[in-house]
Amino acid sequence: MGTPQHRSVTLLLLRHGLTAATGTVLAGRAPGLHLDERGRAQAERAARRLAGLPVDAVVTSPLERCAETAEPVARALGAPVRTDPRFAECDYGEWTGRTLEDLAGEPLWPVVQAHPSAARFPGGESLAGMSARAVEAVRDWSGRLLAERGEGRDPVLLVCTHGDIIKALAADALGLHLDLFQRIQADPCSVTAIRYTPMRPFLLRLNDVGETAEGLAPPEDVRSDAVVGGGAGRARA
């Protein structure tokens, strides 16, 4: 287990599964958008993949597509699902429900692509505000779980959320300006894993759609120092 000066929190970010609108329509916070057959199958595969991990909390965006993805995962982990609106999709305001093809002609589109820190959606939220609330939520949940675990095993937090939230949190962990977050990909039902230590975060996986969860549980000797030369990972003699 980690000593107080070496405590860590492992964050697993699971994007929701596919819906009928994914990839063609900016669904945003539109209500009533559920996983389709493909998305439900993705959620079940994610549940099988993550089963057995020592997850201390499963938290989801309040939107249906995330709650429906989180439900089989939480069941496989034996953990209740909790909801936090700070992990909700960006409020795209008047852009909500429009096709991406249509939106590409808007004057704001190039700003969203190249200078997202300056982008505020008409009648909605700024991408900078979205990023700030998500980072705050992760910090709050991390502090809560560390307090609950006491001197026990370092906690693991699983959050089921949306692509732009995941990209923003990954950019924050890497120390990237928000203007670079569009270089990050987060596919449906992918896992992005970040380990937060007292010194710095470590990006463990990004947009991972593999079949196993090997290497995601906290090791017994988490440290804040980076491994010079890359290290041997989990290899054992």
Residue 157, pLDDT above cutoff 60 = yes
Neighbours of 112 (CB within 10 A): 20
Residue 227, pLDDT above cutoff 60 = no
Residue 84, pLDDT above cutoff 90 = yes
For the ranges 6-10, 128-132, 170-174, the lowest mean pLDDT is seen at 6-10
For the ranges 3-12, 30-39, 73-82, 103-112, the lowest mean pLDDT is seen at 3-12
Residue 152, pLDDT above cutoff 60 = yes
CATH annotation of 4-208:
3.40.50.1240
pLDDT band at 169 (very low <50, low <70, confident <90, very high): very high
Who contacts 235 (Cβ-Cβ below 8 Å, separation ≥6)? none
**pLDDT at residue number 219:** 75
**pLDDT at residue number 236:** 43
The answer to whether the beta carbons of residues 217 and 157 sit under 8 Å apart is no
Spans of all domains in the chain: 4-208
Q: Extract the tokens encoding 228.
A: 């010079």
- Around 178, how many Cα atoms within 13 Å sit in the side-chain half-sphere? 20
